[in-house]
Amino acid sequence: MENIDKELLIELSRVYGSLTNRVVEKLFTPSKRYYMRVNTLLITPGELIDIFREKYGIKLYQDPFVDEAVYIIVQGPYNVPVVDKKIVVDKNAAESIVLGANVYAPGVINYDDFRKGEEVNIVAPNGKIIALAVTEKSSDELKSIKKGVIAKTIKSLYKLPPIRDLEEYRAGLFYPQSLPAMLVSKIIKPKPREIIIDCCAAPGGKTTHLIQLSRGLAKIISIDRSIQKVLKIVENIKRLRQPENIHFHVGDARYIDLYYPLLKADKAIIDPPCSALGVRPKISIDKTFKDVINNSRYQIQFIKAVSRVLKHGGLLVYSTCTITFLENEYIAKKALGYGLKTVEVQLPYANKVYYGGIIAYRFDPLTNDINGYFIVVFKKTS
């Protein structure tokens, strides 16, 4: 097994017990289903499925529970040929390239001398060979450029079509998004004129889904802490060609009650920064138990602030893309101290969790070969 922080493994064992090692091993492989959300403001799922089949020979499948969710079957694992030259990429780039993405300049951290048109291995920071690629630039050219494709991947450990390079992606017909993340917005069920807060909203997956579900008629406050993050949300809204009945706020959602002291929201989403241990496939796990503790202390502050601006009877959905106890069940139980109670909902692919007076939902890689995720639904009672 990978060299993982021992205290972190103990933390994971609080949830998975004797299955902990199997869960961790699963994190290093992708789910066989790669999900995308169809932008039903522009096209139906059936129409997009037909385009992919007829134009590209790519088979899309519609999820049986979420109408706007379609998925591609991930192929692999494959053996990657070993050659003499290599390009080392950072962890974020490696996690895309392992699925067949091309190599872009911003992700490169080290490289041998190479010519244009030469075959090179793409290597993760931990030394693992993840792909074979053909260079589009020489190593001398790479020294002077900061963006663009450096090499085209021809063989990777796993394979997905280059969906972000497709005309339909640029036209806003779909948005790559995990199924559990889609379910968060489905739980919210945005209605016309409702005020809905989306905290830590970048890059805009949930915000754009709320717009889609409400046909632009809900009033959404989309908040994130930097202008770069908020601009990413704006970019996705424009790409998806969505109505803009939305208020963007650059700021820290932990202080939303100070920014908007008179606000009374109908509903809210909190998807705070987390250890992201449920995101697959992993190249390495460099998070530590200390990171988890710090995240947990940080996350509860969002719930404390948002609970103050939520209407009596209002709905709050808390979600993370991680699988630790301290960032999930512990936070949900602590939230009960802020005038909230958990609400039972029906969620496909999820395992129901009962702990200390809460009902929550876990998505784990072993049960349904899905990304690790956690959702808990609260109602404001006081």
Establish whether the linkage from the previous residue to 45 is cis, with ω within 30° of 0.
no
**Mean pLDDT value of segment 122-126:** 96
CA angle 106, 108, 109 (to 5 degrees): 120
Count Cβ neighbours within 10 Å for each residue of 14-39 and write b for 16 or more, e otherwise: ebbeeebeebbebbbbbbebbbbbbb
SS3 content of the chain, % helix, strand, coil (to 5): 35, 25, 40
pLDDT in tens, 2-33: 689 999 999 999 999 999 999 999 999 999 99
Domains of the chain, start order? 86-156 (2.30.130.10), 177-380 (3.40.50.150)
pLDDT in tens, 220-264: 999 999 999 999 999 999 999 999 889 999 999 999 999 999 999
Task: Give the Cβ contact number of residue 44 at 10 Å.
Answer: 12
Question: Which amino acids are annotated catalytic?
Answer: 321
pLDDT in tens, 188-205: 999 999 999 999 999 999
**What are the angstrom distances between the C-alpha of 99 and each of 54, 122, 177, 317, 362?**
23, 12, 15, 31, 25
Residues 6+ apart with CB under 8 A from 189: 213
Strand partners, 121: 86, 132
**pLDDT value at residue 1:** 55
Considering the entire predicted model, what is its pTM?
Answer: 0.95
pLDDT in tens, 333-368: 999 999 999 999 999 999 999 999 999 999 999 989
Q: Is 49 helix (H, G, I), strand (E, B) or coil?
A: helix
